[in-house]
Chains A and B, each alone.
Chain A
């Protein structure tokens, strides 16, 4: 963790909200990506991300500065997402959405990089397919896979975030990967 971040956190511990805003700017995209890939809906992901930051602020005294701030923050975000999924499970009929369409509007997902319309179409279809496959994974595999492949974190960091041994992280990633393989290649049009 860099010195600037340490200074920011010190200020936040004293109640400085401007310093906290800088931390939010640093990590908002990662936190949002984690929540979005976990729950698959932009609105809910935004709410969860906000809640994650608010919790981080309110419980900043519990943050141990010997560890990475991002690890602590991603842990809050992951746990909130998992709690949310569990709560939603009990009321799934109310929240049912048309599969593959949730939150995937053009302007939220696609980077504006001058792609041709049909390239965009293919990309969007791919995105939707992948997102719906992620959604099929059981939560504990899903969080491990998201942290590994969306946030590109090391197994050690994932183990710190999820508070489970590295060996367990590996098992979850292996199983998640195997499930994705089965579903994506059997149902999803096979190899590109």
Chain B
């Protein structure tokens, strides 16, 4: 480029970076209309970046995520908590199971005791549940 190229070159870059003001854009395009050399330069810049933009994203081999996971260090903490968040129903059942079993055991004991007071024979209590 032989004309006052520095100025226009930086304008071209601004336009290509989408950072030019409307006025700057107008100045550039007016110049390009009259300057074959700058016009060619600008077209070439656009041509090469257009080719770049049009490149297809390469396709990733299948199983990529799996093989990344396989290479991670083993999970350590909070495994139980995570299991719980993934299976909320089972977790709720597991949590309920504790007080429930206490209640059941307690209830049974109570019945045993009351039977005791009522004068049932102890031998009969141990063989209960018939």
Contacts and interface: CB of A to CB of B under 8 A. Distances in A.
Interface of A: 11, 14-18, 20-21, 24-25, 28-29, 32-33, 36-37, 42, 45-46, 49-50, 53-54, 57-58, 103, 107-111, 126-127, 129-131, 133-134, 145, 149-150, 152, 155, 170, 173-174, 177-178, 180-181, 184-185, 191-192
Main secondary structure of the interface of A (DSSP, over half): helix
A106 B84 CA distance: 45
B117 to A, nearest CB: 53
The 3 A-B pairs of least Cβ separation, nearest first, read A149-B52, A180-B48, A184-B48
B57 A33 contact: yes
B52 A24 contact: no
Interface string B2-34: 000000000001001101000000000000000
Nearest to A146: B52
B130 interface: no
Nearest to B41: A181
Interface stretch (B59-67, B95-103, B120-128): B59-67
A16 B44 contact: no
A155 B14 CA distance: 12
